[in-house]
């Protein structure tokens, strides 16, 4: 999983993730937005569920993050379809709306994000 941190013209940190992990970058950009208290809660939860059968989730305005003992999933809230809203055989494009990664990989990205924020 490759990632890159950038600052836009206003100084806001933006995260770009490799293909297949775009939703994780969107989660940092839309939900975290430099909110280290939120990142603290998520990292603490990740450490608590690591290696266990427990799960944890953080619902945000645009994205929801799920953690379990081994994996992290980020999914756009707009993907919450109920019932038979789509015709049989049809699918919707969700490559940039759903990402999975390992828990340890996620923690490494979060630590790198913190370091980048501190470099101001």
pLDDT tens string for the chain (120 positions)?
999 999 999 999 999 999 999 999 999 999 999 999 999 999 999 999 999 999 999 999 999 999 999 999 999 998 755 545 555 554 545 567 999 999 999 999 999 999 999 986
CA distances from 41 to 20, 31, 104, 110 (A): 25, 13, 16, 12
pLDDT for residue 90? 42
Count of structural domains within the chain: 1
pLDDT for residue 96? 75
Domain that holds residue 72: 3-78+97-118
Question: Per the domain annotation, does 107 fall within a domain?
Answer: yes
- 69 within 8 A of 103, measured Cβ to Cβ: yes
Question: Per the domain annotation, does 24 fall within a domain?
Answer: yes
pLDDT for residue 94? 59
Angle between helices 36-49 and 103-118 (to 10 degrees): 150
CA distances from 96 to 35, 57, 63 (A): 22, 19, 11
Question: Per the domain annotation, does 91 fall within a domain?
Answer: no
Q: Report the alpha-carbon distance of residue 37 to residue 70 in Å, rounded.
A: 23
């Amino acid at each position: 999983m490759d990632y890159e941190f950038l600052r836009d013209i206003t100084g806001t940190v933006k995260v770009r993730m490799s293909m297949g992990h775009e939703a994780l970058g969107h989660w940092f950009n839309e939900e975290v937005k430099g909110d280290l208290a939120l990142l603290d809660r998520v990292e603490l939860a990740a450490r608590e569920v690591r290696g266990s059968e427990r799960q944890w989730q953080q619902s945000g305005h645009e994205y929801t993050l799920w953690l379990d003992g081994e994996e992290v999933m980020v999914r756009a809230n707009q993907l919450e379809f109920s019932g038979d809203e789509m015709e049989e055989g049809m699918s919707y494009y969700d490559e940039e709306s759903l990402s999975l990664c390992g828990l340890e990989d996620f923690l490494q990205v979060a630590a790198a994000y913190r370091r980048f924020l501190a470099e101001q």
